[in-house]
Amino acid sequence: MSESNSVLVGKKPIMNYVLACITLFHGGAKEVHVKARGRAISRAVDVVEVVRRRFLPDVKIKKVGIGTEQVTAKVEGSAPTNVSTIEITLER
């Protein structure tokens, strides 16, 4: 249930993810989880700031969690690498 209210931030323009968040809140979501890995982390923070400051000022940041995920390398035999993750929980 909570998983369906997730926005995974990647390489698309920031406004795509901003719109995804707004759509979820307008659809009645009380919480939206904005997630990202690696370099997209700074983009996830941008998304949250644009949502809060430009569109939905009543949305609060409930929690920010950071962590590490292991990524199995694409090339067979090479060691798995670590990638940082962020999960920002927004609450209305």
Instruction: Point out which residues bind a copy of itself (CB under 8 A).
Output: 38-42, 45-46, 48-49, 53, 61, 64-68, 82, 84-86, 88
For a copy of itself, which is the closer residue by CB, 38 or 91?
38
The full length of the chain comes to 92
CA atoms within 13 A on the CB side of 19: 5
Q: CA-CA distance, 9 to 34, in Å (whole number)?
A: 7
Closer of 4 and 70 to a copy of itself (Cβ):
70
Minimum Å gap between C-beta 64 and a copy of itself is 4
